[in-house]
Amino acid sequence: MTAAVIYVDDPELSVTASGALRIDGIGAADLAERFGTPLHVISETRLRRNYRRFRDAFAQRWPAPVAVYFAQKSNPSLALRSTLTQEGAGGDCLGANELRAALMAGADPARLVLNGNDKTDEALALAVACGARVNVDDLDEIDRLAAVAAEAGRTVEVGIRTKPDLEAFAARGSEMMDLTVRDYAAVSKWGLDPAAAAHAVEAIRARPELRLVGLHYHLGRHFSHPDLFALVVPGMAALVGLLRDRTGWTPEALTVGGGFTQGRDPFFRKPGPGEPWPQAADCFVAPIEAFADALCGELQQALRARDLPLPVLGLEPGRFITASAGLTLTRVGTIKQGPARRWVMVDVSVAQLGMSRSPRDAHAIVVADGSARDEAVTCDVVGPLCVLDVVMEQAPLPAVGRGSLLAVLDTGGYADGEASNANSIGRPAVVLVRDGAADLIRRRETFDDVFARDEIPARLLAAGEPPPWPIGP
Ligand code: PLP
Protein backbone atom coordinates (compact mmCIF):
# COMPACT_ATOMS: atom_id res chain seq x y z
CA MET A 1 0.00 0.00 0.00
CA THR A 2 1.40 3.42 -0.90
CA ALA A 3 1.19 6.26 1.54
CA ALA A 4 0.94 9.91 0.58
CA VAL A 5 3.78 11.60 -1.24
CA ILE A 6 5.86 13.64 1.17
CA TYR A 7 8.47 15.18 -1.08
CA VAL A 8 8.31 18.61 -2.56
CA ASP A 9 6.48 18.55 -5.87
CA ASP A 10 7.52 14.92 -6.45
CA PRO A 11 4.56 12.75 -7.44
CA GLU A 12 7.09 10.23 -8.78
CA LEU A 13 8.48 9.65 -5.27
CA SER A 14 6.28 7.93 -2.72
CA VAL A 15 6.76 6.05 0.51
CA THR A 16 4.92 2.88 1.52
CA ALA A 17 3.35 2.51 4.92
CA SER A 18 6.44 0.54 6.00
CA GLY A 19 8.69 3.43 4.95
CA ALA A 20 10.02 2.01 1.68
CA LEU A 21 10.76 4.52 -1.09
CA ARG A 22 9.24 4.01 -4.53
CA ILE A 23 10.48 5.85 -7.61
CA ASP A 24 8.20 6.12 -10.62
CA GLY A 25 6.35 2.95 -9.58
CA ILE A 26 9.28 0.77 -8.54
CA GLY A 27 10.77 0.03 -5.12
CA ALA A 28 14.18 1.45 -4.29
CA ALA A 29 15.12 -1.78 -2.51
CA ASP A 30 14.24 -3.82 -5.62
CA LEU A 31 16.39 -1.57 -7.77
CA ALA A 32 19.34 -1.83 -5.38
CA GLU A 33 18.97 -5.62 -5.24
CA ARG A 34 18.80 -5.93 -9.01
CA PHE A 35 21.44 -3.42 -10.09
CA GLY A 36 23.65 -3.04 -7.00
CA THR A 37 24.76 0.16 -5.30
CA PRO A 38 25.69 2.93 -5.62
CA LEU A 39 23.08 3.40 -8.28
CA HIS A 40 21.83 6.49 -10.07
CA VAL A 41 18.10 6.25 -10.75
CA ILE A 42 16.36 8.58 -13.21
CA SER A 43 12.58 8.88 -13.34
CA GLU A 44 11.59 9.15 -16.98
CA THR A 45 8.18 10.50 -16.03
CA ARG A 46 9.73 13.30 -13.98
CA LEU A 47 12.25 14.09 -16.71
CA ARG A 48 9.49 14.50 -19.28
CA ARG A 49 7.35 16.47 -16.84
CA ASN A 50 10.22 18.85 -16.05
CA TYR A 51 10.82 19.46 -19.74
CA ARG A 52 7.14 20.11 -20.51
CA ARG A 53 6.66 22.37 -17.54
CA PHE A 54 9.70 24.42 -18.50
CA ARG A 55 8.70 24.70 -22.17
CA ASP A 56 5.11 25.65 -21.32
CA ALA A 57 6.10 28.21 -18.70
CA PHE A 58 7.98 30.22 -21.31
CA ALA A 59 5.82 29.43 -24.34
CA GLN A 60 2.78 30.76 -22.48
CA ARG A 61 4.53 34.01 -21.61
CA TRP A 62 6.56 34.89 -24.68
CA PRO A 63 4.52 36.11 -27.65
CA ALA A 64 7.09 34.98 -30.27
CA PRO A 65 8.31 31.35 -30.63
CA VAL A 66 10.37 29.72 -27.88
CA ALA A 67 13.26 27.30 -28.52
CA VAL A 68 14.39 25.02 -25.68
CA TYR A 69 17.95 23.70 -26.02
CA PHE A 70 18.53 21.03 -23.39
CA ALA A 71 21.99 21.55 -21.84
CA GLN A 72 23.46 18.12 -22.31
CA LYS A 73 26.34 18.76 -19.90
CA SER A 74 23.90 18.43 -17.02
CA ASN A 75 23.45 14.74 -17.78
CA PRO A 76 25.22 13.23 -20.77
CA SER A 77 23.32 9.92 -20.92
CA LEU A 78 22.21 8.99 -24.43
CA ALA A 79 18.95 7.57 -23.11
CA LEU A 80 18.06 10.88 -21.47
CA ARG A 81 18.88 12.71 -24.65
CA SER A 82 16.69 10.22 -26.60
CA THR A 83 13.82 10.80 -24.17
CA LEU A 84 14.09 14.55 -24.64
CA THR A 85 14.38 14.09 -28.40
CA GLN A 86 10.98 12.38 -28.26
CA GLU A 87 9.72 15.45 -26.42
CA GLY A 88 10.99 17.67 -29.23
CA ALA A 89 13.82 19.32 -27.28
CA GLY A 90 16.71 21.00 -29.04
CA GLY A 91 20.18 20.80 -27.52
CA ASP A 92 23.03 22.96 -26.22
CA CYS A 93 26.24 21.05 -26.94
CA LEU A 94 29.69 21.99 -25.77
CA GLY A 95 32.22 20.56 -28.18
CA ALA A 96 32.34 17.76 -30.70
CA ASN A 97 31.53 14.94 -28.32
CA GLU A 98 28.34 16.43 -26.92
CA LEU A 99 27.26 17.27 -30.44
CA ARG A 100 28.04 13.77 -31.69
CA ALA A 101 26.22 12.22 -28.73
CA ALA A 102 23.11 14.34 -29.36
CA LEU A 103 23.12 13.24 -33.00
CA MET A 104 23.55 9.60 -31.96
CA ALA A 105 20.51 9.96 -29.73
CA GLY A 106 18.44 11.16 -32.66
CA ALA A 107 18.34 14.91 -31.95
CA ASP A 108 17.29 17.08 -34.89
CA PRO A 109 20.52 18.84 -36.00
CA ALA A 110 18.55 21.96 -36.91
CA ARG A 111 17.68 22.27 -33.21
CA LEU A 112 21.23 21.86 -31.93
CA VAL A 113 23.66 24.62 -31.07
CA LEU A 114 27.40 24.28 -30.64
CA ASN A 115 28.65 26.41 -27.74
CA GLY A 116 31.99 26.77 -25.99
CA ASN A 117 35.19 28.79 -26.13
CA ASP A 118 38.11 27.81 -28.37
CA LYS A 119 36.12 25.28 -30.38
CA THR A 120 38.14 22.60 -32.12
CA ASP A 121 38.29 22.25 -35.91
CA GLU A 122 36.60 18.88 -35.44
CA ALA A 123 33.65 20.45 -33.61
CA LEU A 124 33.25 23.21 -36.20
CA ALA A 125 33.39 20.70 -39.06
CA LEU A 126 30.78 18.46 -37.42
CA ALA A 127 28.43 21.39 -36.79
CA VAL A 128 28.77 22.53 -40.40
CA ALA A 129 28.25 19.01 -41.74
CA CYS A 130 25.12 18.32 -39.69
CA GLY A 131 23.57 21.78 -39.90
CA ALA A 132 23.76 22.79 -36.23
CA ARG A 133 23.97 26.46 -35.29
CA VAL A 134 27.33 27.72 -34.01
CA ASN A 135 27.49 30.41 -31.34
CA VAL A 136 30.86 32.02 -32.00
CA ASP A 137 32.81 33.03 -28.94
CA ASP A 138 35.64 35.01 -30.52
CA LEU A 139 36.34 37.04 -33.66
CA ASP A 140 38.91 34.52 -34.88
CA GLU A 141 36.28 31.79 -34.79
CA ILE A 142 34.36 33.61 -37.50
CA ASP A 143 37.12 33.17 -40.08
CA ARG A 144 37.77 29.60 -39.01
CA LEU A 145 34.08 28.71 -39.25
CA ALA A 146 33.66 30.43 -42.61
CA ALA A 147 36.65 28.50 -43.97
CA VAL A 148 35.19 25.19 -42.82
CA ALA A 149 31.78 26.07 -44.29
CA ALA A 150 33.31 27.21 -47.59
CA GLU A 151 35.28 24.00 -47.87
CA ALA A 152 32.13 21.96 -47.22
CA GLY A 153 30.13 24.10 -49.65
CA ARG A 154 27.53 24.81 -46.96
CA THR A 155 25.94 27.76 -45.23
CA VAL A 156 25.90 27.70 -41.45
CA GLU A 157 23.62 29.47 -38.98
CA VAL A 158 25.60 31.59 -36.55
CA GLY A 159 24.93 33.22 -33.22
CA ILE A 160 27.27 35.46 -31.25
CA ARG A 161 27.99 34.68 -27.63
CA THR A 162 27.90 38.06 -25.97
CA LYS A 163 29.05 39.68 -22.77
CA PRO A 164 26.67 42.55 -22.14
CA ASP A 165 27.53 45.12 -19.51
CA LEU A 166 25.60 44.01 -16.45
CA GLU A 167 25.29 47.32 -14.67
CA ALA A 168 22.13 46.11 -12.96
CA PHE A 169 24.28 43.59 -11.09
CA ALA A 170 26.84 46.13 -9.91
CA ALA A 171 25.77 45.83 -6.28
CA ARG A 172 24.55 42.25 -6.35
CA GLY A 173 26.90 39.64 -4.94
CA SER A 174 27.07 36.11 -6.27
CA GLU A 175 26.18 33.36 -3.80
CA MET A 176 28.80 31.21 -5.47
CA MET A 177 31.88 33.38 -5.22
CA ASP A 178 33.21 36.48 -3.53
CA LEU A 179 32.47 38.80 -6.43
CA THR A 180 29.58 40.87 -7.61
CA VAL A 181 27.76 39.20 -10.48
CA ARG A 182 28.88 42.05 -12.74
CA ASP A 183 32.54 41.52 -11.84
CA TYR A 184 32.19 37.78 -12.30
CA ALA A 185 30.78 38.31 -15.79
CA ALA A 186 33.56 40.76 -16.61
CA VAL A 187 36.35 38.33 -15.67
CA SER A 188 34.79 35.20 -17.15
CA LYS A 189 36.27 34.00 -20.42
CA TRP A 190 33.07 33.67 -22.46
CA GLY A 191 31.50 35.99 -24.96
CA LEU A 192 32.25 39.22 -26.77
CA ASP A 193 31.84 42.64 -25.17
CA PRO A 194 29.52 45.11 -26.94
CA ALA A 195 32.23 46.68 -29.15
CA ALA A 196 33.60 43.28 -30.19
CA ALA A 197 30.05 42.00 -30.77
CA ALA A 198 29.46 44.87 -33.21
CA HIS A 199 32.63 43.87 -35.12
CA ALA A 200 31.42 40.28 -35.10
CA VAL A 201 28.07 41.28 -36.62
CA GLU A 202 29.85 42.99 -39.49
CA ALA A 203 32.42 40.24 -39.97
CA ILE A 204 29.77 37.50 -40.05
CA ARG A 205 27.52 39.38 -42.42
CA ALA A 206 30.44 39.86 -44.80
CA ARG A 207 30.82 36.08 -45.20
CA PRO A 208 28.37 34.45 -47.61
CA GLU A 209 28.84 31.05 -45.91
CA LEU A 210 27.54 32.39 -42.60
CA ARG A 211 23.98 33.39 -41.80
CA LEU A 212 23.78 35.50 -38.65
CA VAL A 213 20.62 34.62 -36.76
CA GLY A 214 21.04 35.54 -33.15
CA LEU A 215 22.73 36.52 -29.95
CA HIS A 216 23.53 34.21 -27.09
CA TYR A 217 24.18 34.82 -23.45
CA HIS A 218 24.62 32.54 -20.44
CA LEU A 219 25.31 34.08 -17.10
CA GLY A 220 25.23 30.93 -15.01
CA ARG A 221 23.82 30.57 -11.55
CA HIS A 222 24.64 33.17 -8.98
CA PHE A 223 21.50 32.94 -6.90
CA SER A 224 18.29 31.01 -7.36
CA HIS A 225 15.87 33.91 -7.49
CA PRO A 226 13.89 35.01 -10.56
CA ASP A 227 15.61 38.43 -10.26
CA LEU A 228 18.67 36.83 -11.78
CA PHE A 229 16.94 36.83 -15.13
CA ALA A 230 15.16 40.16 -14.74
CA LEU A 231 18.51 41.84 -14.00
CA VAL A 232 20.13 40.41 -17.12
CA VAL A 233 17.54 42.12 -19.31
CA PRO A 234 18.67 45.78 -19.21
CA GLY A 235 22.20 44.88 -20.33
CA MET A 236 20.95 42.49 -22.99
CA ALA A 237 18.38 44.95 -24.39
CA ALA A 238 20.98 47.73 -24.41
CA LEU A 239 23.29 45.48 -26.39
CA VAL A 240 20.60 44.61 -28.94
CA GLY A 241 19.85 48.33 -29.32
CA LEU A 242 23.52 49.21 -29.71
CA LEU A 243 24.02 46.56 -32.41
CA ARG A 244 20.97 47.80 -34.29
CA ASP A 245 22.21 51.40 -34.11
CA ARG A 246 25.73 50.54 -35.20
CA THR A 247 25.08 47.87 -37.80
CA GLY A 248 21.39 47.99 -38.71
CA TRP A 249 21.05 44.32 -37.70
CA THR A 250 18.55 42.92 -35.21
CA PRO A 251 18.56 39.32 -33.99
CA GLU A 252 15.97 36.76 -35.10
CA ALA A 253 16.81 34.78 -31.98
CA LEU A 254 17.96 35.75 -28.51
CA THR A 255 19.18 32.93 -26.29
CA VAL A 256 19.53 33.60 -22.58
CA GLY A 257 21.27 30.38 -21.47
CA GLY A 258 20.45 28.22 -18.48
CA GLY A 259 20.73 28.47 -14.71
CA PHE A 260 17.06 27.81 -13.89
CA THR A 261 16.43 25.74 -10.79
CA GLN A 262 13.62 24.22 -8.80
CA GLY A 263 12.61 22.56 -5.57
CA ARG A 264 15.39 21.52 -3.22
CA ASP A 265 18.10 22.76 -5.59
CA PRO A 266 21.16 21.23 -3.88
CA PHE A 267 23.75 23.47 -5.52
CA PHE A 268 25.68 25.68 -3.11
CA ARG A 269 23.01 24.94 -0.52
CA LYS A 270 25.39 23.76 2.20
CA PRO A 271 24.17 25.34 5.42
CA GLY A 272 26.35 27.40 7.70
CA PRO A 273 27.09 26.23 11.27
CA GLY A 274 23.88 25.72 13.20
CA GLU A 275 21.66 25.96 10.11
CA PRO A 276 19.57 22.93 9.17
CA TRP A 277 20.60 20.50 6.45
CA PRO A 278 18.14 20.35 3.49
CA GLN A 279 15.24 17.98 4.02
CA ALA A 280 13.16 16.09 1.51
CA ALA A 281 10.18 18.39 1.97
CA ASP A 282 12.16 21.63 1.52
CA CYS A 283 11.65 23.95 -1.40
CA PHE A 284 14.11 26.81 -1.80
CA VAL A 285 13.23 28.05 -5.23
CA ALA A 286 10.33 29.99 -6.73
CA PRO A 287 8.29 28.09 -9.32
CA ILE A 288 9.62 28.22 -12.88
CA GLU A 289 6.57 30.23 -13.88
CA ALA A 290 7.89 33.05 -11.67
CA PHE A 291 11.24 32.91 -13.53
CA ALA A 292 9.37 32.99 -16.83
CA ASP A 293 7.28 35.96 -15.63
CA ALA A 294 10.38 37.89 -14.59
CA LEU A 295 12.32 37.22 -17.77
CA CYS A 296 9.56 37.45 -20.35
CA GLY A 297 7.91 40.51 -18.80
CA GLU A 298 11.11 42.53 -18.49
CA LEU A 299 12.49 41.50 -21.84
CA GLN A 300 9.35 42.35 -23.78
CA GLN A 301 9.15 45.71 -22.13
CA ALA A 302 12.81 46.53 -22.69
CA LEU A 303 12.79 45.52 -26.36
CA ARG A 304 9.52 47.31 -27.08
CA ALA A 305 10.80 50.44 -25.37
CA ARG A 306 13.62 50.47 -27.94
CA ASP A 307 11.27 49.64 -30.78
CA LEU A 308 13.01 46.31 -31.33
CA PRO A 309 11.18 43.28 -32.75
CA LEU A 310 10.56 40.31 -30.42
CA PRO A 311 12.96 37.50 -31.37
CA VAL A 312 12.66 33.76 -30.88
CA LEU A 313 13.47 33.27 -27.20
CA GLY A 314 16.14 30.59 -26.78
CA LEU A 315 16.63 28.88 -23.40
CA GLU A 316 19.25 26.34 -22.36
CA PRO A 317 18.01 24.61 -19.22
CA GLY A 318 20.15 21.84 -17.80
CA ARG A 319 19.68 21.28 -14.09
CA PHE A 320 16.03 22.34 -14.15
CA ILE A 321 15.25 19.33 -16.32
CA THR A 322 17.62 16.72 -14.95
CA ALA A 323 18.42 17.40 -11.27
CA SER A 324 15.10 16.53 -9.65
CA ALA A 325 14.55 13.59 -12.02
CA GLY A 326 17.43 11.68 -10.43
CA LEU A 327 18.45 10.22 -7.10
CA THR A 328 21.29 7.98 -6.00
CA LEU A 329 20.85 4.81 -3.96
CA THR A 330 23.68 3.99 -1.60
CA ARG A 331 24.20 1.33 1.09
CA VAL A 332 25.37 1.91 4.61
CA GLY A 333 28.49 0.03 5.67
CA THR A 334 30.39 0.78 8.87
CA ILE A 335 28.92 3.15 11.41
CA LYS A 336 31.69 4.59 13.52
CA GLN A 337 31.17 6.55 16.72
CA GLY A 338 33.96 8.88 17.82
CA PRO A 339 34.08 11.28 20.72
CA ALA A 340 33.19 14.24 18.50
CA ARG A 341 31.28 12.77 15.60
CA ARG A 342 29.30 9.81 14.38
CA TRP A 343 30.09 8.68 10.82
CA VAL A 344 27.63 6.74 8.70
CA MET A 345 29.78 5.31 5.93
CA VAL A 346 28.17 4.73 2.54
CA ASP A 347 29.35 3.29 -0.76
CA VAL A 348 28.85 6.46 -2.80
CA SER A 349 31.45 9.23 -2.85
CA VAL A 350 31.30 12.96 -3.49
CA ALA A 351 33.28 12.28 -6.67
CA GLN A 352 30.34 10.24 -7.97
CA LEU A 353 27.81 12.88 -7.02
CA GLY A 354 29.51 15.76 -8.79
CA MET A 355 30.08 17.29 -5.37
CA SER A 356 33.84 17.16 -5.57
CA ARG A 357 33.71 20.16 -7.91
CA SER A 358 31.45 22.20 -5.66
CA PRO A 359 31.84 21.03 -2.07
CA ARG A 360 29.15 23.48 -1.03
CA ASP A 361 26.37 21.31 -2.48
CA ALA A 362 23.91 19.81 -0.03
CA HIS A 363 21.55 17.05 -1.08
CA ALA A 364 18.67 15.89 1.08
CA ILE A 365 19.11 12.25 2.12
CA VAL A 366 16.32 9.84 3.05
CA VAL A 367 16.21 6.24 4.24
CA ALA A 368 14.91 4.26 1.25
CA ASP A 369 14.14 0.75 2.50
CA GLY A 370 12.04 1.24 5.59
CA SER A 371 14.96 0.31 7.83
CA ALA A 372 14.88 3.62 9.73
CA ARG A 373 14.24 3.43 13.41
CA ASP A 374 12.39 6.33 14.99
CA GLU A 375 15.05 8.41 16.62
CA ALA A 376 17.18 10.64 14.43
CA VAL A 377 20.86 10.84 15.22
CA THR A 378 23.17 13.65 14.18
CA CYS A 379 25.91 12.27 11.97
CA ASP A 380 28.15 12.79 8.99
CA VAL A 381 27.35 10.63 5.97
CA VAL A 382 30.71 9.93 4.38
CA GLY A 383 31.98 8.03 1.36
CA PRO A 384 35.05 5.83 0.90
CA LEU A 385 37.54 8.31 -0.65
CA CYS A 386 40.87 9.37 0.83
CA VAL A 387 39.56 12.90 1.25
CA LEU A 388 36.92 13.84 3.84
CA ASP A 389 34.27 12.84 1.30
CA VAL A 390 31.36 14.30 3.27
CA VAL A 391 28.05 13.70 1.52
CA MET A 392 26.05 15.11 4.43
CA GLU A 393 27.56 17.00 7.33
CA GLN A 394 26.25 17.18 10.88
CA ALA A 395 22.59 16.59 10.18
CA PRO A 396 20.03 14.30 11.73
CA LEU A 397 19.45 10.96 10.02
CA PRO A 398 17.01 8.34 11.34
CA ALA A 399 19.03 5.60 13.02
CA VAL A 400 20.10 3.00 10.47
CA GLY A 401 22.42 0.00 10.46
CA ARG A 402 24.86 -1.79 8.17
CA GLY A 403 23.10 -2.69 4.92
CA SER A 404 20.44 0.03 5.18
CA LEU A 405 19.63 1.74 1.92
CA LEU A 406 19.75 5.53 1.63
CA ALA A 407 18.69 7.77 -1.23
CA VAL A 408 20.54 10.98 -2.01
CA LEU A 409 17.91 13.13 -3.72
CA ASP A 410 18.21 15.44 -6.74
CA THR A 411 21.35 13.95 -8.25
CA GLY A 412 20.13 13.88 -11.85
CA GLY A 413 22.08 17.00 -12.81
CA TYR A 414 25.87 17.24 -12.94
CA ALA A 415 26.48 14.12 -10.80
CA ASP A 416 27.30 11.37 -13.26
CA GLY A 417 28.50 13.84 -15.89
CA GLU A 418 31.11 15.32 -13.58
CA ALA A 419 32.04 12.13 -11.73
CA SER A 420 35.64 10.99 -11.61
CA ASN A 421 37.44 7.73 -10.90
CA ALA A 422 38.97 9.09 -7.70
CA ASN A 423 40.73 6.29 -5.78
CA SER A 424 40.31 4.10 -8.90
CA ILE A 425 36.68 3.48 -8.06
CA GLY A 426 34.36 2.81 -11.00
CA ARG A 427 31.40 5.10 -11.59
CA PRO A 428 27.92 3.82 -10.63
CA ALA A 429 25.40 2.30 -13.00
CA VAL A 430 22.44 4.41 -14.13
CA VAL A 431 18.90 3.08 -14.56
CA LEU A 432 15.93 4.76 -16.17
CA VAL A 433 12.62 3.91 -14.51
CA ARG A 434 9.12 4.50 -15.73
CA ASP A 435 5.78 3.18 -14.49
CA GLY A 436 7.34 0.32 -12.56
CA ALA A 437 9.83 -0.79 -15.24
CA ALA A 438 13.59 -0.25 -15.06
CA ASP A 439 16.21 -0.23 -17.82
CA LEU A 440 19.95 -0.09 -17.36
CA ILE A 441 21.13 2.94 -19.37
CA ARG A 442 24.75 3.08 -18.19
CA ARG A 443 26.47 0.03 -16.79
CA ARG A 444 28.64 0.14 -13.71
CA GLU A 445 32.32 0.73 -14.46
CA THR A 446 34.54 -2.26 -13.80
CA PHE A 447 38.21 -2.43 -12.82
CA ASP A 448 38.95 -3.02 -16.50
CA ASP A 449 37.04 0.11 -17.46
CA VAL A 450 38.90 2.21 -14.94
CA PHE A 451 42.29 1.03 -16.24
CA ALA A 452 41.28 0.67 -19.91
CA ARG A 453 43.51 3.57 -20.99
CA ASP A 454 46.62 2.28 -19.22
CA GLU A 455 49.69 0.70 -20.75
CA ILE A 456 52.77 -0.52 -18.89
CA PRO A 457 55.80 -0.13 -21.16
CA ALA A 458 57.41 -3.52 -21.76
CA ARG A 459 60.68 -2.41 -20.12
CA LEU A 460 58.82 -1.91 -16.82
CA LEU A 461 57.07 -5.25 -16.83
CA ALA A 462 58.50 -7.80 -14.47
CA ALA A 463 59.30 -10.97 -16.39
CA GLY A 464 57.83 -14.17 -15.12
CA GLU A 465 54.62 -15.69 -13.92
CA PRO A 466 51.30 -13.84 -13.72
CA PRO A 467 50.43 -12.84 -10.13
CA PRO A 468 48.85 -15.60 -8.04
CA TRP A 469 46.10 -13.46 -6.55
CA PRO A 470 42.82 -12.78 -8.34
CA ILE A 471 42.63 -9.72 -10.53
CA GLY A 472 39.30 -9.13 -12.12
CA PRO A 473 36.41 -6.78 -12.52
N1 PLP B 1 24.09 26.99 -21.36
C2 PLP B 1 25.42 27.15 -21.23
C3 PLP B 1 26.17 27.88 -22.29
C4 PLP B 1 26.09 26.64 -20.12
O5 PLP B 1 27.42 26.78 -19.99
C6 PLP B 1 25.34 25.94 -19.13
C7 PLP B 1 26.00 25.39 -17.93
O8 PLP B 1 27.14 25.52 -17.68
C9 PLP B 1 23.97 25.78 -19.32
C10 PLP B 1 23.37 26.32 -20.43
C11 PLP B 1 23.10 25.02 -18.34
O12 PLP B 1 23.07 25.55 -17.09
P13 PLP B 1 22.06 24.96 -15.99
O14 PLP B 1 22.30 23.53 -15.88
O15 PLP B 1 22.43 25.72 -14.77
O16 PLP B 1 20.68 25.28 -16.47
The H or E element containing residue 381 is strand 376-382
Query: Cβ distance 438 to 445 under 8 Å?
Result: no
Read off the pLDDT of residues 224-274 as tens digits, 9 standing for 90 and up. 889 888 889 999 999 999 999 999 999 999 999 999 999 999 988 999 988
pLDDT tens string, the chain, 473 residues long: the values are: 445 556 777 889 999 989 899 999 999 999 999 999 999 999 999 999 999 999 999 999 999 999 999 999 999 999 999 999 999 999 999 999 999 999 999 999 999 999 999 999 999 999 999 999 999 999 999 999 999 999 999 999 999 999 999 888 888 888 777 888 888 888 899 999 999 999 999 999 999 999 999 999 998 888 888 988 888 999 999 999 999 999 999 999 999 999 999 999 998 899 998 899 999 999 999 999 999 999 999 999 999 999 999 999 999 999 999 999 999 999 999 999 999 999 999 999 999 998 877 888 999 999 999 988 778 999 999 999 999 999 999 999 999 999 999 999 999 999 999 999 999 999 999 999 999 999 999 999 999 999 999 999 888 877 666 677 877 65
Query: Cβ distance 336 to 382 under 8 Å?
Result: no
55 CA distance to ligand 1 centroid (A)?
16
Helix (H, G, I), strand (E, B) or coil at 389: coil
CB-neighbour burial class of residue 205 (10 A; exposed 0-12, middle 13-18, buried 19+): middle
Pairing, β 376-382 against β 342-346? parallel
Residue closest by Cα to atom 15 of ligand 1: 259
Read off the pTM: 0.96
316 CA distance to ligand 1 centroid (A)?
6
Question: Ligand 1: which of 92, 134, 161, 414 to mutate, judged by most atoms within 8 Å of the beta carbon?
Answer: 92
Identity (one letter) of the amino acid at 75?
N
243 CA distance to ligand 1 centroid (A)?
25
- Using CB distances shorter than 6 Å, the residues near ligand 1 are 71, 73-74, 92, 115, 218, 221, 257-260, 316-320
Which CB contacts under 8 angstroms, 24+ apart, belong to 443-451? 444/35, 444/36, 445/421, 446/473, 447/471, 447/472, 447/473, 448/473, 450/421, 450/424, 450/425, 450/426, 451/424
Look at residue 6 in the predicted model and tell me its pLDDT.
Answer: 67
Cis geometry, peptide bond prior to residue 38 (ω within 30 degrees of 0): yes
Residue closest by Cα to atom 9 of ligand 1: 258
Residue closest by Cα to atom 8 of ligand 1: 220
Catalytic residue numbers, as ranges:
386
315 CA distance to ligand 1 centroid (A)?
10
Please provide the DSSP assignment of 163-232 as one string. ----GGGTTPBPSSSSSBHHHHHHHSS-SB-HHHHHHHHHHHHT-TTEEEEEEE-----S-SSTHHHHHH
Read off the pLDDT of residues 107-130 as tens digits, 9 standing for 90 and up. 999 999 999 999 999 999 999 999
Residue closest by Cα to atom 10 of ligand 1: 258
Question: Ligand 1: which of 75, 316, 319, 322 to mutate, judged by most atoms within 8 Å of the beta carbon?
Answer: 316
Look at residue 54 in the predicted model and tell me its pLDDT.
Answer: 98
185 CA distance to ligand 1 centroid (A)?
14
